[in-house]
Structure 1
Amino acid sequence: MAAAAMEATASQRAGISSQELLQEMKAFISGIDPVHGHKLTVKDHARCGILLLRNLPPARGAVLEHLRGVFDEYVSGYIMDLNHEGGIGMGGGVGGRSGLDDVTQEIQGVLSEFVHSNPRAWAPLVSAWSIDLMGQLSNKYSGRHQVPHASSLNELLQLWMSCKAMRVLMEIYVQCLSSMISSCPDACVDALLDTSVQHSPHFDWVVAHIGSSFPNTIISRVLSCGLKDFCMHGASSVVDPLFPTLADKRVPKIASVVGILGHLATRHSDSIKQELLLMFHESLGASRDPQQHATVPFLLQLAAMSPMLLSTVSGELIESLKPPVLDQLHQHFAGLSRDDADNLVGLVVHLICQTGPGAYRILQFLVNTAMPASVITTPGLAVRDSVREACHRIIQLLLLNLQKLVYNRPSASLAELQPRAVPFFDELKGRVKDLCVETLRLQRKRHLWQHQLLGLLCVYCGQSCATEALCHLLTLAASPEELALAVQLYGGLAASVPGLLPATLRRCVARLHSSSLPEEQAARLLANLAALVQWEGPEEEVPAPVGARLAQALSCHARDLGQFLPHGHPRVAEAAALLLSTVPLPRALGPAQLAGLARSAVGQFLLALRRGRGAAASDCARLLIRLSCASPAALRSVLQQLVRSAAHPGSAGLFGGWAPGSERAQGPPPSTAGCASGDSLLDTNRKFGTAVNFGGSVWAVFHAGVIGWGLKPASTVTLPGPQEAMHNLYQLLSLVVRCGSGYPLAEPDPGLSRQGPPPINPEAAKAVAVALVEGLCPDVTNSELAWPPEDHARNTVERDLQIRNRFEENPLLFPLLQFVALGRPALCYCSVLLRGLLATLMAHWEASRHSLTTSSPWQLQASCSLVSCMGEGQLLPPVLSNMHEIFHLLTPFEVHLLLLSVWDYMKDNGPLPQKFTFDPEQGQFYRDFSRDGDISKYLNVLHSILHKNIGHLGHLCGRFQV
């Protein structure tokens, strides 16, 4: 019917006789002019063919074949002109042989007329001819010097569209496609696909130009023709996932479809995405059309051959996979054979591995869908068990495939960069924290999949990703079970990623110092590191030396971690103390660093006592004991910091003493109890009313308060109760004793109280003595050891009162003095304190008008403690040191006389360290009092008092015999 229509059209146009038509036919066949007998030129020969094409339709095949040569001749001349003129921009637009411009224009006019008059008959024929001719010419001249490489699509398009012959062919094809676009464009599109298969990639510029002109039509018809060809070649269901590119050999047009869509994706990706999604959803209908059953395998095959198409459609496709759509998919493929189903699932897994953008969303979809059913699932959102099992299988195969891609690499070492990229992992590289958060959710199988995937991702990406993952897990883990996941991840990566542990710790410390972590997370990170140092997990879960290796690696960061001890957030500071208390301190720490750590640890220890946080105080105590064991200099630094901080007036209330501004203080401090008002001159001068008037300057505005906020609130300090104060006192003294005696970190055995106090290091006791003297009498040097005459006390009244007041305000000082006494001969260095206390106590008892010493309880206790302490330190012989046992039974004046005897003995036998001798058997110093001569003269007053009170002191006379 098409031939009859073309003949009818030609007969209508016939304007020459049959005889003339016969001569033209002979001339066209022979190529010789029948009138003059010479050979026809290319131009004349072409016009002869055009005449036959107009008037003799049966000759159209031969004429069109001949006209190929005309266009070939034109293109050849165009390329030669380019070679002579130096490129596209040097007159390439006017290239070609002389006279062929008119011929090509005539050919276009004739063919356009035919297509316009009868598009149904002529458009398929002319479009196939023009598109095939463009493919042949593009391929033939692709290797010429002036023709750009096929990869340079824009330059190639500019070159050929500057050639009039090629432009004519393109216009002819576009006219054919335009005339058929509303009725049946498949014939034109089929010709485009066939030519693309034969002449790609040199033909790609044609596809790009036509696709840009008819994007919607080309995309939909290319997909339709590709699907039709996919079905015709029997590839509707069986797709080999291991060799997805072999499909283009069985299905010739599929590679062309991929190429065309690839060219169009740069500008028309939305249209491509819409068409692909439309095809997918239409294929899930109830129709039994074979093409609908082949649509999903066809789309999967396209995605396998084109990563660009995969990334274009994967995101919205996953969003559209709601439970109803999943049910339709399940029913759609329920009838597949096992081999076909396995191949289809394998191809899906292969595509997921090759997915870049949207990989995390795909992973979450699979995990959420594969999760076991829950009783609280919202109706309508649950999926069938068969769909859940399918997703479960896909996840398992995905993990297995990713494991093969990660470990089956040709590189010599796993530490090297892998030569073959996995887009799925490349996309997940930026979602490490999200994967860690999902892993720590501990939802049945979900966290196991995420954890395994996280390990493979770390091996694939190397040390940087592995340290990031471990750092996130250590920061976010909130329970031992969650922390175990970090340990398991490290156990799986330790062999594959060298130097993982030190690199992870460096990253953790850097994050802590960068202030990028919230305070709660920083505290949790420090606490988790401390828990790992003390980890005692099963060997099958945790490498045995993980705790020791972690502690050794953390010791290098002790200085950095110590900076968190004075942190403003309590949990951060306490977690830092806990961590440092479990980490061995490096020997490379210098004196300044040790002093800084000691100062921060002491401050945190006292702060923990003030807050009532016993566990934090114990951690700080362990840290201080570790510091004291580092070196003799560290021991002195720790003890001095402890004594100075604890003996400070601001810390007195912590141990049951008096603190300014405390709620428990109901009056002036004990040192000013005898004053009329209790106000010091310094406090009076600080009052706003007695300050210098600056005439309303800015210095006066904020002195008493802030405008709009009222006066400054009075600062009050809430002190601990008696039991808490006693506990704090015990904690501090226990710490001092353990530091000074080198006692183990564990709590002391209660049975030790029956064996006597532990031996005290004399150097430690000396450090405490020096710190006490410096804290209480900063203007006194340690060279003032000699005991002056009694009259000398009149010159040091102010200093002695200051010493007495400090001892009265702080209950901690006498126990510290007793500690010093245990480390003989360290008490000699507290001579100035002993003199000040003894002088003030003597003055008190001499001036007292009470009949019993019990009327002055603190002075009585202080007198007993002072004499006992001097006896323990062997500054007094045993007989004199036992006098404190009867103080509570004597009158104040009698106590004064006994203390005066002590003063006389100390004046004649000064507290000098040279008088002590070291006993190697007992491991401590002792003093031989026999070298000091007869002490009976110092006992006359004591014996006289005993004789006077023989009635109630007679049973104690044996205690005071020389």
Structure 2
Amino acid sequence: MAAAEGSVGPPAGISSQELLQEMKAFISGMDPSHGHKLTVKEHARCGLLLLRNLPPARGAVLEHLRGVFDEYVSGYILELNREGGGAGPLGRPGLDDVTQEIQGVLSEFVRSNPAAWAPLVSAWSIELMGQLSSKYSGRHPVPHAGSLNELLQLWMSCKATRALMEIYVQCLSAMIGSCPDACVDALLDTSVQHSPHFDWVVAHIGSSFPNTIISRVLSCGLKDFCMHEASSSSSSSCSGGPSMPDPLFPSPADKRVPKIASVVGILGHLATRHSASIRQELLLMFHQSLGPCREPQGPAAVPFLLQLAAMSPALLGAVSAELIDSLTPPVLEQLRQRLAGLGRDEGDNLAGLAVHLICQTGPGAERTLRFLLGAAGPASVIAGPGPASAAAPDGVRRCCQRLVQLLLLQLQRLVYERPAGQPQPQARAVPFLDALGGRVRELCAETLRLERERQLWQHQLLGLLCVYGGPSLGAEALCQLLVLAGSPEELGLVARLYGGLAGSVPRLLPAAVCRCVARLHSGPELPPGQAGRLLANLAGLAGWEGPEGGGAPLGPRLARALSAHVRPLGRLLAHPHSGVSRSAARLLAAVPLPPSLGPAHLAGLVRAATGHFFLALGRQGPSSSALADSCRLLARLSTVSPGAARCVLRQLVRSALHPGNARLFGGGPSAPCSPAAPAPATPGDSLLHVNRSHGTAVNFAGSVWAVFHAGVIGRGLKPAGGSGRGPGPEEADANVYRLLGLVVRCGAALCPPASTLPCPTLPPEAAKAVALALVEGLCPEVTDSDLDWPPAEHARHTVERDLRVCRYFQEQPLLLGLLRLVSLGPPALCYCSVLLRALLATLAAHWEASRHGHTTASPWPLHASRQLLACMAEGQLLPPALANAHELFHLLTPFEVRLLLLSVWDYVRDNGPQPHRFSFDPERGSFRRDFSRDGELGKYLGVLHSVLHKNIDRLGHLYGRFQL
């Protein structure tokens, strides 16, 4: 005994007598020399001595050594309990050295003769680890079998089980090249017997030999799956029929297949480092199952793999991407033929399990969806790039269509059966929808594809995703659809989606509008083309009269939501891109203005809308749709309040007088620019203009000063055709007509709201606003109270102002039209007294200087003189007999025309154009002037009658029109 202790190498030589004593001691457990009982350590070393010198005793010795390891593990567990579950000890005192000796002896045997000892020692060690794992699985410090990593850490911290593991790894390494089946079969047999407590052993071994262990574990799991399926089917047939679970809600962990849980745990542990090997083996098993099956387990491979993936999201994520890529139409057809032999219940269960897996797919969800829709879509639809881009066979297409319908039904159940108003538990999360939540733009683009069947699927899925993600995701989806929709049919899909979501997602429309406005003004900012399309689509939906939107029409609800964003939308009217500004005008024309819009913000919106009107008039012409939208916007702004209407009219007149807009109406370069509305400064202002602003500049022809007329510094020479070509005469007249019509349209808002009488063409208040804007633009130095007419001699004091006003009227044909428009709303023309005086004085002076010619030789003064008297007659500033004098001007001499104009001056001087001379006529609904109150009118007609008598031969037939 003493010679054997401490010796683990080859025997140094032992006699038969000593060997016999050792045998007796080992069998009896007593020391023959001293007569006392052997300790565990002495008994184990006695067995090791026999094992080295008496090979036939190896079975008994190995069986005894089981107890040594069991004793060690028992003490290890007890010490863990005493330490309160903390970090356990590395070994039990007194048995550490003997376990090392056992490991050394067995390792030496395996190294010296692996063919004889490796199978025996591997089976013994693996079976012993299985027994120990099962025996102590219920003890307090031992983790649950599902916690594979914790279980592995605990057992590998024990020297006894770690020694057994090292022995088995040595045996497997020795046999892996020649006959690995013996070791692996023993491993899997023990795994089946002691699963799931033994899975930590298989997982650790698999980390050392991944390819061998992974394939063997999968093969063992498939065999066990087939065995339990066969037994379940036979028991079901005996009981009268199968009891199948709901195909839409398969149970991921089937209690009838105990081994598959072990397979999942082992592969899950190996997936952290050997995911590529696991993915390769799973795909290999799948493709082998589609070919000619030599093994009876072949048809069950696909259900086995589906069940395996359902129980392990890690395995599902590892294999899903490459599996989708490998599902070409021929492979799909093989799969359909392989599963065609299943019964109806089995097929339903399999489809439900596939749907469950898709719902649990996170990474690659978009690829999976694209594959399903591509395979299920009609053959005429050209799918996008991918494995399903080729036309799938009809049978495969029908199967995929059924799968898509089941998927949508399952997602609908998962989404709508969640508790409302509470944080969603992790168990109710849908990874498939979570992954698609970040791909909203791509889903929206696919939804707008106008292939009927595919579009319905995408539309339903997008609606479920919006309900699942809440108002934020729903708003993003609606915003993306509005950005991408390019036709009325696609815009109808947006309305239909909102109609399905309105009852499920609270405050969806305001959130979507906020998202759209934010995309227009802040990052990521939309390109001009997409921004214009978004605004146009919003405008189209604002006028939508369909029933979508939870009962109420969508258009009014969207318009009310947009009304809260009028201010940021109004800033887009000045956008440099014409498409954006045009769509913004169209949208604002369809949106009601909020009551909270203050005067300052309203004035800013009026300025922006007026600027857009003139830009559209210059870009598109008077008949463009953009101009019509701008007119509607200004008309809507004028209906907000009387002050808003006056602001619109004033801004229209001021902008029409601006030099940059004068050419639109046939105006010349000297158009007035009111100090209240200065032209925007540009970097290339003319030096001559700057010089004239500081003093008088004299143009000496042919001198160096002529260089100022050659061009503008920084801009180069003037173009050959002048400073810029305006529209032609016909287009200019159309522009004038459009502007005057807009003034009348906006001025109609100033009609008394309670009046039952017909409103005049231009209400007096509107005409007054236009008149004041004209005076402010042409004569800003004149006050509103300057209405009285001075004597004719007073005109010599205002010659400069009168000439300036006359030049404005000559170069701006629009001014006479505006003056005629003012005359339609008496007594508004009274407020243009300063303009009438300037024109009348200047024209009279012109005819005085041209008395030797003929009136037709001065076309514009003749036209202006006739228009001036016609306006004064329409504005009821002249009595009818004197007002008709302009009909004779083209038949008279210039001197006679001057005399008639002076008669008009005298009448207006004596009967000043004061508003108090007008009274409201309730029958007509307008203001009228009673000329009978002005005294004797005959004295003002003396010159007129004299002219008629002088030209009685030509004008005698008109004499009756000029009698009181």
TM bin, normalised by shorter chain, reads 0.7 to 0.9
SS of the counterpart of 1:925?
Answer: strand
Contact 1:193–1:253 (CA<8 Å) still a contact in 2?
no
Structure-2 residue corresponding to 1:229: 224
Structure-1 residue corresponding to 2:539: 530
Contact 1:418–1:460 (CA<8 Å) still a contact in 2?
no
Pair 1:274-2:319 in alignment: no
Counterpart CA distance in 1 for 2:256 and 2:183 is 23
Structure 2 vs 1, CA of residues 302 and 415 (structure 1 numbering), >3 Å: closer, same or farther? closer
Structure 2 vs 1, CA of residues 107 and 244 (structure 1 numbering), >3 Å: closer, same or farther? farther
Stretches of structure 2 that go unaligned for 5 or more consecutive residues are 1-9, 234-243, 672-687, 752-756
Structure-1 residue corresponding to 2:450: 442
Counterpart CA distance in 2 for 1:689 and 1:390 is 92
Aligned partner letter, 1:451: H
Structure-1 residue corresponding to 2:746: 739
Structure 2 vs 1, CA of residues 193 and 465 (structure 1 numbering), >3 Å: closer, same or farther? farther
Contact 1:523–1:572 (CA<8 Å) still a contact in 2?
yes
Pair 1:937-2:939 in alignment: yes
Counterpart CA distance in 2 for 1:132 and 1:915 is 123
SS of the counterpart of 1:565?
Answer: helix
Q: 1:610 aligns with which of 615, 618, 628?
A: 618
Structure 1 residue 232, shift from structure 2 partner: 3.1
Structure-1 residue corresponding to 2:732: 725
- The alignment's TM-score, normalised by the length of structure 2, stands at 0.87
Q: 2:776 aligns with which of 762, 774, 779?
A: 774
Higher deviation after alignment, 785-794 or 919-928: 919-928
Superposition CA RMSD, Å: 3.6
Aligned partner letter, 1:518: P
Contact 1:488–1:542 (CA<8 Å) still a contact in 2?
no
Q: 2:210 aligns with which of 205, 208, 215?
A: 215
Matches within 5 A, 1:640-655: 640-655=650-665
Structure 2 vs 1, CA of residues 135 and 915 (structure 1 numbering), >3 Å: closer, same or farther? farther
Contact 2:760–2:825 (CA<8 Å) still a contact in 1?
no
Pair 1:96-2:92 in alignment: yes
Pair 1:357-2:363 in alignment: yes
Structure 1 residue 201, shift from structure 2 partner: 7.0
Aligned partner letter, 1:71: F
Structure 1 residue 730, shift from structure 2 partner: 1.3
Counterpart CA distance in 2 for 1:757 and 1:889 is 38
Counterpart CA distance in 1 for 2:252 and 2:390 is 39
Higher deviation after alignment, 101-110 or 501-510: 101-110
Structure 2 vs 1, CA of residues 180 and 356 (structure 1 numbering), >3 Å: closer, same or farther? same
Structure 1 residue 16, shift from structure 2 partner: 6.3
Higher deviation after alignment, 835-844 or 267-276: 267-276
Counterpart CA distance in 2 for 1:318 and 1:919 is 85
Contact 2:642–2:750 (CA<8 Å) still a contact in 1?
no
Stretches of structure 1 that go unaligned for 5 or more consecutive residues are 1-11, 662-677, 694-701, 745-754
SS of the counterpart of 2:302?
Answer: helix
SS of the counterpart of 1:917?
Answer: strand
Q: 1:856 aligns with which of 855, 858, 874?
A: 858
SS of the counterpart of 1:839?
Answer: helix
Structure-2 residue corresponding to 1:4: none
Structure 1 residue 374, shift from structure 2 partner: 2.8
Aligned partner letter, 1:528: N
Structure 1 residue 890, shift from structure 2 partner: 0.9
Structure 1 residue 649, shift from structure 2 partner: 2.8
Higher deviation after alignment, 173-182 or 203-212: 203-212
Counterpart CA distance in 2 for 1:130 and 1:105 is 14
Structure 2 vs 1, CA of residues 271 and 655 (structure 1 numbering), >3 Å: closer, same or farther? same
Structure-2 residue corresponding to 1:386: 395
Q: 1:315 aligns with which of 321, 325, 328?
A: 321
Contact 1:462–1:497 (CA<8 Å) still a contact in 2?
yes
Structure 1 residue 682, shift from structure 2 partner: 4.8
Pair 1:564-2:572 in alignment: yes
Counterpart CA distance in 2 for 1:55 and 1:576 is 101
Structure 1 residue 783, shift from structure 2 partner: 2.2
Matches within 5 A, 1:348-497: 348-374=354-380, 381-409=390-418, 411-413=419-421, 420-497=428-505
Deviations 1:217-269 (A, max 9, x none): 22222222222322333369989656655765333321111111111111221
Contact 1:230–1:236 (CA<8 Å) still a contact in 2?
no
SS of the counterpart of 1:249?
Answer: coil
Deviations 1:635-674 (A, max 9, x none): 111001100111223322212233479xxxxxxxxxxxxx
Deviations 1:27-59 (A, max 9, x none): 434433233222210101212333444456665
Identity %: 70
Counterpart CA distance in 2 for 1:73 and 1:691 is 118
- The alignment's TM-score, normalised by the length of structure 1, stands at 0.87
SS of the counterpart of 2:428?
Answer: coil
Matches within 5 A, 1:110-129: 110-116=105-111, 119=114, 122-129=117-124
Q: 2:810 aligns with which of 802, 808, 811?
A: 808
Structure 2 vs 1, CA of residues 422 and 679 (structure 1 numbering), >3 Å: closer, same or farther? closer
Counterpart CA distance in 1 for 2:663 and 2:29 is 124
Structure-1 residue corresponding to 2:638: 628
Structure 1 residue 916, shift from structure 2 partner: 2.2
Deviations 1:817-873 (A, max 9, x none): 122122222211111111111111111111114543122111111111111111221
Higher deviation after alignment, 154-163 or 257-266: 154-163
Aligned partner letter, 1:215: P
Higher deviation after alignment, 539-548 or 358-367: 539-548
SS of the counterpart of 1:127?
Answer: helix
Higher deviation after alignment, 31-40 or 545-554: 31-40
Aligned partner letter, 1:637: C
Structure 1 residue 420, shift from structure 2 partner: 0.3
Deviations 1:730-782 (A, max 9, x none): 111111011112399xxxxxxxxxx9993422221111111111111122221
Aligned partner letter, 1:479: S
Aligned partner letter, 1:628: S
Structure 1 residue 633, shift from structure 2 partner: 1.1
Deviations 1:647-704 (A, max 9, x none): 223322212233479xxxxxxxxxxxxxxxx9998598899996899xxxxxxxx974
Structure-2 residue corresponding to 1:699: none
Pair 1:904-2:906 in alignment: yes
Aligned partner letter, 1:500: L
Counterpart CA distance in 2 for 1:796 and 1:660 is 20
Counterpart CA distance in 2 for 1:201 and 1:510 is 56
Aligned partner letter, 1:609: L
Counterpart CA distance in 2 for 1:221 and 1:517 is 56
Higher deviation after alignment, 917-926 or 637-646: 917-926
Counterpart CA distance in 1 for 2:147 and 2:75 is 23
Structure-2 residue corresponding to 1:107: 102
Structure 2 vs 1, CA of residues 716 and 397 (structure 1 numbering), >3 Å: closer, same or farther? farther
Structure 2 vs 1, CA of residues 25 and 230 (structure 1 numbering), >3 Å: closer, same or farther? farther
SS of the counterpart of 1:485?
Answer: helix
Aligned length in residues: 909
Counterpart CA distance in 1 for 2:550 and 2:149 is 59
Counterpart CA distance in 1 for 2:568 and 2:334 is 59
Structure 1 residue 85, shift from structure 2 partner: 8.8
Aligned partner letter, 2:590: T
SS of the counterpart of 2:920?
Answer: strand
Counterpart CA distance in 2 for 1:330 and 1:237 is 24
Structure 1 residue 877, shift from structure 2 partner: 1.9
Contact 1:235–1:251 (CA<8 Å) still a contact in 2?
no
Aligned partner letter, 2:100: Q
Contact 2:248–2:355 (CA<8 Å) still a contact in 1?
no
SS of the counterpart of 2:899?
Answer: helix
Contact 2:252–2:310 (CA<8 Å) still a contact in 1?
no
Contact 1:704–1:712 (CA<8 Å) still a contact in 2?
no
Higher deviation after alignment, 119-128 or 905-914: 119-128
Deviations 1:73-129 (A, max 9, x none): 334555666788999889x45x4212x233212221333344445555654553344
Contact 2:536–2:586 (CA<8 Å) still a contact in 1?
yes
Structure-2 residue corresponding to 1:747: none
Contact 2:22–2:50 (CA<8 Å) still a contact in 1?
yes
